[in-house]
Amino acid sequence: MRDAYIVTSIRTPGCRRNKGAFRDTRPEDLLSFILSQAVEKTQNLEKKDVEDIMIGCSFPEAEQGLNIGRVASRMAGFPIETSGATVNRFCSSGLEAIALASLRVMAGWSEVVIGGGLESMTYVPMGGNLPRPHPDFMRQGAQVYTSMGVTAENVANRYGVSRQDQDEFAYQSQMKAAEAKKKGLYKELVPTPATRFVKQADGTFKKETFLQDFDDGIRENTTMEGLAGLRPVFAANGSVTAGNSSQMTDGAAAAIIMSEDKVKELGVKPLARFRYYTTIGCQPDEMGVGPRYAIPKLMKLSGMDLKDIGLFEINEAFASQALYCVRELGLDMDKINIHGGAIALGHPLGCTGAKLCATLLSNMQQHNVKYGVESMCIGGGMGAAALFELCD
C-alpha cells in the first residue's frame, strides 16, 4: 500500500450551541469556508486537484443534510468533477472521513482527497429532529439507544470515578484551554466568518458578517468550588454535570490527504502520515469505555507500544469516561489533551474527529512529537483510534 500524507489539517473555532458565535451561521457556510481554506493553505494545490470530499456528520439532516459533502463542495466552488459524500459513525465521523480519504490514497485509487467533519448542534439537535427507535427492537436492545449522559453516569458508577475526580479533570481541561488560548497555541484554528442578525431602529433585522477567531466555550474563570456547586443533569443522585460534560458546539474541520507522487509534484511539505485506524464495539450503555479498547487494538495493529506515543487527543465526551480510559490504560496525564479537550472546547459531534486531528497534528509539530494517537468513544457503544506519524 502507498502512504497517505496529511498536508493540511485545520478547523474553525468551536462555538457554543444556541448561545455562541455560530448560532446564526448555517452549517453549509462553516463547511464550505473551511474546505476553501484548506485548499488555499496548501501550497500549489488547486480545487480542481481534489477528487473527492468526505465529510463526517452525526446528524446529517435538515440544514446539514442532503449530502452536505456534495452541497458544500459546490458552495465552496470546487469544479463539478469533485465529488462529495457524507460519512456517519457518530462521534468519530470526522476521523472516519479522514480514514476513508486516506484509504483511497493508500489503495492508489486517488491522488488528493479531503476528509473533514461538520456539526451544527444549534441547527440540528443531538438525536436529530425526528428520532424513531425501532419499537420491537426496543424491547430487547434498547441499550443501543441509551442517552449519552446516562452512559457517562454508568461509567462513573460501575468503575468508581468520583465526582471530585471528574470535576478535577474538567477543571484541568478548562485551565489548559484557557492558557492555550491566551498564548495563541491553537495554530490549527482559522478565524471564520460568522453571521449575526442585528435589530434595526425600524424593528427589522439586518444580516451582518463578523470574524470569529476563538473557541467561545472556554471558561477561564472556572473554579473547583464552582464545579462542585453544579447539580447533576442526568440522574438525581448522579455525578455528571454541565461542568464535567463536553459542551454542545458548532464547528467544522478539514484535512487534505495526498499521495507521495502528488506531494512531490506540488512540492508540498507534508505534516504527517496517516498510519493506522481502527474501531471496536463495546456495551452501548457504557459507550464511554470505547477508547480503553480501541487504543490497545490500535497498538497491536501498528506493532507499537503505548510508551512510543508522545501525545494523545482523547475526546472528552464526559470526564467520567475519559478519566476511566486514561486510568485503565495507565497513560501519562501530561500527554493527554495538552491544550484542553471537549469539556472546555466543545464536542461538535461529526466534526470532532477532524477537529482533534487538526489539534493533534498542530501539537505534534509544536512539540516535535513523532507519534500521536487520536481516540474517542462513540454512541451506540464503540471506540475509534488512529495513529499519526509526524513527517521530518
Q: What are the catalytic residues?
A: 91, 347, 377
Window contacting ligand COA (CB under 6 A); options: 32-40, 74-82, 138-146, 219-227 = 219-227
State the Cα–Cα distance between residues 298 and 290, nearest whole angstrom.
Answer: 12
Complex with ligand COA: residue 56 or 84, whichever CB lies closer: 56
Shortest distance (Å) from residue 40 CB to ligand COA: 31
State the Cα–Cα distance between residues 326 and 289, nearest whole angstrom.
Answer: 10
Complex with ligand COA: residue 84 or 383, whichever CB lies closer: 383
SS3 annotation, the chain: CCCCEEEEEEECCCEECCCCCCCCCCHHHHHHHHHHHHHHCCCCCCHHHCCEEEEECCCCCHHHCCCHHHHHHHHCCCCCCCEEEEECCHHHHHHHHHHHHHHHHHCCCCCEEEEEEEEECCCCCCCCCCCCCCCCHHHHHHHHHCCHHHHHHHHHHHHCCCHHHHHHHHHHHHHHHHHHHHCCCCCCECCEEEEEEEECCCCCEEEEEEEECCCCCCCCCCCHHHHHCCCCCCCCCCCCCCCCECCCEEEEEEEEEECHHHHHHHCCCCCEEEEEEEEEECCHHHHHHHHHHHHHHHHHHHCCCHHHCCEEEECCCEHHHHHHHHHHHCCCHHHECCCCCHHHHCCCHHHHHHHHHHHHHHHHHHHCCCEEEEEEEECCCEEEEEEEEECC
Window contacting ligand COA (CB under 6 A); options: 3-11, 93-101, 245-253, 360-368 = 245-253
Q: Is 76 one of the binding residues for ligand COA (CB under 6 A)?
A: no
Q: Is 148 one of the binding residues for ligand COA (CB under 6 A)?
A: yes
Q: Is 222 one of the binding residues for ligand COA (CB under 6 A)?
A: yes
Q: Is 224 one of the binding residues for ligand COA (CB under 6 A)?
A: no
- Candidates 246, 302, 320, 375: give the one binding ligand COA (CB under 6 A): 246
Q: Is 230 one of the binding residues for ligand COA (CB under 6 A)?
A: yes
Neighbours of 18 (CB within 10 A): 11
Complex with ligand COA: residue 238 or 270, whichever CB lies closer: 238
Q: Is 227 one of the binding residues for ligand COA (CB under 6 A)?
A: yes
Answer whether 322's CB lies under 8 Å from 246's CB: no
Complex with ligand COA: residue 23 or 347, whichever CB lies closer: 347
Tell me, what amino acid is at 387?
L
Q: Is 247 one of the binding residues for ligand COA (CB under 6 A)?
A: yes
| Cell 475526546, residue located | 315
Window contacting ligand COA (CB under 6 A); options: 112-120, 200-208, 221-229, 326-334 = 221-229
Q: Is 235 one of the binding residues for ligand COA (CB under 6 A)?
A: no
Q: Is 347 one of the binding residues for ligand COA (CB under 6 A)?
A: yes
Mask for 87-126, x = binds ligand COA (CB under 6 A) = ----x-----------------------------------
- Range 91-112 burial, b when 16+ CB lie within 10 A, else e: bbbbbbbbbbbbbbbbeeebbb
Shortest distance (Å) from residue 359 CB to ligand COA: 17
Q: Is 352 one of the binding residues for ligand COA (CB under 6 A)?
A: no
Q: Which residue is nearest to ligand COA (CB)?
A: 148
Complex with ligand COA: residue 4 or 91, whichever CB lies closer: 91
Q: Is 351 one of the binding residues for ligand COA (CB under 6 A)?
A: no
Shortest distance (Å) from residue 81 CB to ligand COA: 36
Complex with ligand COA: residue 73 or 174, whichever CB lies closer: 174
Shortest distance (Å) from residue 64 CB to ligand COA: 16
Mask for 154-193, x = binds ligand COA (CB under 6 A) = --------------------x-------------------
Nearest residue to 51 via CA among 255, 254, 277, 258? 258
Q: Is 6 one of the binding residues for ligand COA (CB under 6 A)?
A: no
- Candidates 379, 382, 383, 388: give the one binding ligand COA (CB under 6 A): 379
The sign of the dihedral angle between the CA atoms of 172, 173, 175, 180 is positive
Window contacting ligand COA (CB under 6 A); options: 183-191, 205-213, 238-246, 289-297 = 238-246
Residues that bind ligand COA (CB under 6 A): 91, 148-149, 174, 219, 222, 226-227, 230, 233, 242-243, 245-248, 317, 347, 379
